[in-house]
Amino acid sequence: MQLPDKIKSKHFLICDDYESMRTMISDSLTQLGVVKISTAKSGNEGFKIIESQLKLDPVEFVITDLMMEDGSGIDLVKLIRADAQAKVLPVLMVTSKSEVSYVLESIRAGVNNYIVKPWATEDLMKRIIEVDEKVSKTLGSGT
């Protein structure tokens, strides 16, 4: 089970305040063929990574938790969507919160898709592909 080459070659950023979740998502991405993975403990740290990497090795896909101690996933998405260079980044929200209010708030903030914990690697792969296709269509680039 692998992601298409055009996706697995992207630089992924995982934002989650729990090291175990960062490791689990990173392991799943590695299993799916991704080789460039950065991690952050918070939305604030994640956005600093995005900003600092813009010219060197830009982050091309963000997977973030909803609830974090220092800067929520929604805060991160709002920062991304407000930034002229980063605003088109694909963002997948990974969370244990399945209530409609959380989903709607995430969508309003600009999340491209949402996956509820626990999830299987195959489900994560499907969501990543869906997000990539949606963003590619929006950009009209086909990449």
Residue % of the chain over a pLDDT of 70: 98
State the Cα–Cα distance between residues 19 and 77, nearest whole angstrom: 20
Average pLDDT value over all residues in the chain: 92
pLDDT tens-digit map of 73-106: 999 999 999 999 899 999 999 988 888 888 889 9
pLDDT classification of 128: cutoffs 50, 70, 90: very high
Q: Which domains does the chain have, with CATH numbers?
A: 5-137 (3.40.50.2300)
Weakest mean pLDDT among 53-57, 90-94, 131-135: 53-57
Q: How far from 14 is each of 25, 101, 139, 140, 141, CA to CA, in Å?
A: 7, 23, 23, 26, 24
